[in-house]
Every structure is written in C-alpha cells, then in structure tokens.
C-alpha cells in the first residue's frame, strides 16, 4: 500500500490517529523519497534491516520492495495497527519497544529464517528529538549493525558528518568518527511529510569501521576529554580542559603535541586519541 497525501488521511482516520507531536511523528508521504532512501542505504535482496520508528509504514514499504527482511521497532502502540494494514502482518516483523531501552542483542538474535547470516543495517526516519541518542546507542552497543542510513533534522545531520575546523564539528562528530565513516548523502524537504516539519531533513549514511581508526587506552577516557573540550568551545583548549586535567594542562597538551591555544573544534580524532594516551600514561 503506497502512502501518499491522498491515502494517509484516510488511513489515519480509519485508526483514529493523529500525528503525535510528543513522539515527533512526521509521516513520510512520498513513495519516491522512500525508495530513494532505500537505494541510498544500498539495501539488497535478503539483507537484514532494522527500521526504528516505522510509524504507519511509508519507508517500510520501500524497504520491503527491495526484498530485504525488515524488523520494525515501534514505540507507539496505537500506530501499530495502521502499520500492519500498510505492510501486512507476514511481510515484516513488528516489535513494540523503545529504541533507547530495548535489548538490541535479544531483538536482533531472534531466530528467523528470513534473515540468514548477513550483517544488519539500520534504515530509519528518526524522530528529531531523539535522533542523536538513538544513533549513538546503536554505534556504541550494537556491533551487529554494520551500516546506518538515518533521516534526521538537517542541522543534526551536519553535526554527525562534520569534520575538524567546521562550524558544525563537535563532540558528536568526534564520537561518530570513532565508530564509523559518516557523510550526508541527500536532503529531504518538509513538503513530503504529513505534517510538514519546519526544517529540512538530512540523510546521513554511517558505515561502521571494522576496527577503531585510533588506539586509545579507554573509550570512556577519550570521550570524557572530548566532552570537556567542547563543553567550553569558545575557550582555548588549555582553558577548556583545565578543570579536567588540572594545572598541568599545558604540559599535558605539549606532551601530546597539541597547541594549547587552539580550540576543540580544530582537533582531529587522531589528536584527541593522542591526548587520551598521554593522560592515561604508560
């Protein structure tokens, strides 16, 4: 069932639904955009796909058209009957749950003859208000997922894919770069959603590294330094990190071959890793 501006209102009416602002529901109403997302995610027949927040199934339909085996994780119990009407109850595995709390290991390890042994990919139109925490949780704790294609608020997508020295570059950019390679592969206008959001969306593809690109003694130490550095991003690094590293901060930065006068947004992942190694000692 293709979901368009002509068919979505009737579907919502049949199930007594209205898009929930609290849940950040903006339903995709353009099948061509949905197919474009599936294509950019490079989904192939037989692939195992996790879709978080399928809503009424606009993107789910396009993913199923590729021949992929889709597991759809939906928080809103009231929207699930509409999703089932759109995609059918046998074509997709629908699970009610919260992506910020669900046990992904259990969710993805369920024995299902459709899925085979291929790595998982995640393809999702994420609610703007929880997009970043969901992406970070998947990268940090779900290694079974080898790639992600997420639709997020454009500003958020720019932060996810930003490189050193750019305005959008921040702690999230560094953390994502540690886990995978991120890039914006497209944008989506508000006009293809019901209701239309006030901003453009970005399509961000993240391909997980097989191994981290830098060596650090502790991921927690690395990310703690990154958070501290960007926590006061207007300050020079020696000032931003003083509370974290103490009065010896300039010597520590010098040992890591980092100029204490620069700001956090200029440091590469490699430089953050070098600093983490110096701080942790031999």
For residues 12 and 6, the answer to whether their CB atoms sit within 8 Å is: no
pLDDT of residue 111: 47
Predicted TM-score (pTM) above 0.85: yes
Q: Are strands 48-52 and 69-74 parallel, antiparallel or unpaired?
A: parallel
pLDDT > 90: what percent of the chain? 89
* Digit-coded pLDDT (tens) for 205-223: 999 999 999 999 999 999 9
Structure tokens at 273: 């890793």
- The overall average pLDDT reported for the chain is 94
Q: What are phi and psi of 88, to 5 degrees?
A: 85, 150
pLDDT > 70: what percent of the chain? 97
pLDDT of residue 156: 97
> What distance in Å separates the CA atoms of residue 74 and residue 111, rounded to the nearest whole number?
20
**Exposure string for 200-232, b = 16+ CB within 10 A, e = fewer:** ebbbbbbbbeeeeebebeeeeebbebbebbbeb
pLDDT of residue 113: 45
* Digit-coded pLDDT (tens) for 244-277: 999 999 999 999 999 999 999 999 999 999 999 9
Structure tokens at 79: 């929207």
Domains, in order of start, for the chain: 8-208 (3.40.50.150), 219-280 (1.10.8.100)
Task: Give the confidence band of 139 by pLDDT, cuts at 50, 70, 90.
Answer: very high
Distances in Å between the Cα of 153 and the Cα atoms of 24, 52, 108, 233 are: 11, 16, 27, 23
* Digit-coded pLDDT (tens) for 70-95: 999 999 999 999 999 999 877 799 99
CB-CB neighbours of 67 under 10 Å? 11
pLDDT of residue 115: 55
């Amino acid at each position: 069932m293709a979901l368009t501006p002509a068919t979505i209102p009737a579907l919502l009416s049949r199930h007594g639904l209205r898009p929930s602002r609290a849940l950040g529901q903006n339903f995709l109403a353009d099948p061509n955009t949905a197919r474009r997302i599936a294509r950019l995610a490079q989904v192939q027949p037989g692939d195992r796909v996790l879709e978080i927040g399928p809503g009424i199934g606009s993107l789910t339909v396009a993913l199923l058209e590729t021949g992929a085996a889709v597991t759809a994780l939906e928080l809103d119990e009231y929207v699930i009957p509409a999703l089932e009407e759109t995609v059918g109850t046998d074509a997709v595995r629908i699970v009610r749950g919260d992506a910020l709390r669900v046990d992904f290991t259990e969710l993805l390890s369920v024995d299902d003859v459709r899925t085979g042994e291929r790595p998982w990919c995640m393809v999702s139109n994420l609610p703007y208000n929880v997009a970043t925490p969901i992406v970070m949780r998947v990268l940090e704790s779900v290694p079974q997922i080898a790639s992600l294609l997420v639709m997020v608020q454009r500003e958020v997508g720019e932060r996810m894919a930003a490189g050193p020295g750019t305005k959008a570059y921040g702690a999230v950019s560094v953390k994502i770069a540690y886990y995978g390679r991120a890039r914006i592969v497209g944008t989506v206008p508000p006009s293809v959603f019901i209701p239309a959001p006030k901003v453009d969306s970005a399509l961000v593809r993240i391909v997980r590294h097989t191994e981290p690109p830098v060596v650090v003694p502790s991921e927690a130490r690395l990310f703690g330094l990154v958070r501290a550095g960007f926590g006061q991003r207007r300050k020079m690094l020696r000032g931003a990190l003083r509370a974290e590293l103490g009065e010896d901060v300039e010597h520590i930065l010098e040992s890591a071959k980092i100029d204490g006068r620069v700001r956090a947004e200029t440091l590469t992942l490699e430089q953050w890793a070098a600093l983490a190694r110096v701080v942790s000692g031999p």
